[in-house]
Structures are given as structure tokens and as C-alpha cells.
Amino acid sequence: MRVYRRWGALFSLLTLAAFAVPAAAQQPTPATPSATAPTASPPTTKPKPKPKPKPAATTAAPATTDAPAAATPTPKPPPVSGGAKPTLLGQYGEWGAYTASPGGKKICFAIAKPTSTETVPSNRPRNPTYLFITSRPADKVTSEVSIIIGYPFKPGSEASVGIGAATFALYTQQDGAWIKNATEEAHLVDAMRDGNSAMVKGVSVKGTQSTDTYSLKGLSQALDRTGQDCK
């Protein structure tokens, strides 16, 4: 069950690469200038020089953040070694269904980002957050629920995921969370299939409380699709 120890760093790359796929597909194609288009004439008057920019203030204090200290804006990552670059199987509502083969071992996962987030204190910056459900046939793992929270959890703290009236306890490790009682995982997945939204709560190492709400629209279809590809 402790997927973070073996898959945490890899899933960080997989999730970034996964969400880069649809983003790249939506980029517009640069227009090619027509060979017959008229060429603009150069201006006849010399343009006025632009004023020199004022020096930036140096007294501003750095923003407080719950994200890991080394976190910086992440560029589009290169393919992960071992053929692990994820392939989009289909997009279903808020959920994408993906497959990848890190180290030659096939995995499938359904993944989504929260539709809303709240923190107390408010507006605390965080790294991206994801909820995903993974199957790894080689390890005989099916429908494992995992969360990347976007900050280091407070050591020894628990998180929770609520669907309707049901609440499931999660154990935490670094920036990851998983079901605390393995025997409840199938019930959690069933509740997510039948529910409208999932609410994930946790507390950071700095004491910030977070509440992330995920839409469950399309999850059942995404899980059916990953189930077909990772039987």
C-alpha cells in the first residue's frame, strides 16, 4: 500500500506529463504568412526612445508558501525513462484515463485536479494537487486511491476524504496520502463511482488546513476504460 516509496517521484512526473498532453493539444498553430500578403512599409519618422524602466523595489518580503522549499514553476517535462510517458486513453468529464509502462511494467490510472480549493489561512500558495486511482497488474494492485496534496503534510497527521455522508481516513507521507484501512479501499472507490464530489482535507507541516473538492463526474467511465487496458 505504501505506493509513495516506490512510485511517488515517478507519479509526480507522470502527472505532470499527463496534464501536459491535453494542454499541448490545445495550443493554436502559428499562422504562416501568405506569400502574396503586402509588406508593411518602414515608418518615415524616427520613433521616440522608450523611457528607461525604473529599478524594482528590493524591500518586499518573500511570500509565505506551504509548497516544498525547492519547488519552482515546472516546465513541460521530458519523457520519463523506461517508456513511462503516459498515453491518454480518453477524457471523461473531469477525469482523464491514462496508461504508461515505467520499467516495462504497465500501469493505468484515472486522474483529476480539484475543481475548488480552500486554505486556512486563506490563499496559501501550494504546488499542484491531484487525486488518482491506479492499477498495476504486475504488482497485483487494482484501484489504489492516491492523493498528491501540493505541500508536505504535518508529520504524523492524518488526512480524510469525504463523499456524501461517508468519510475515510487517510495516512500521510511527505506530500502523498492513501487509504488508512486497506479493507475500506473498495468501499471508497464504490462511493466515488456513485458520488457527485469528493472533499479531501489535510494539514501542512506549517499548520495550514486545506480543503480540496473534486468533481466525480466521469470517474466511472475513466475507471472502466483503465480497467479494460489493465486487466
Confidence check: pLDDT of 13 > 80 = no
**Arithmetic mean of pLDDT, 64-80:** 45
pTM of the model: 0.71
Task: Give the CATH fold of the 3-20+77-229 domain.
Answer: Immunoglobulin-like (2.60.40)
- What's the pLDDT at 19? 59
What distance in Å separates the CA atoms of residue 49 and residue 58, rounded to the nearest whole number? Answer: 27
Domain ranges of the chain: 3-20+77-229
CA separation, residue 17 to residues 54, 90, 155 (Å)? 39, 15, 29
pLDDT tens for each residue of 133-169: 999 999 999 999 999 999 999 999 999 999 999 999 9
What type of residue is 113?
Answer: K
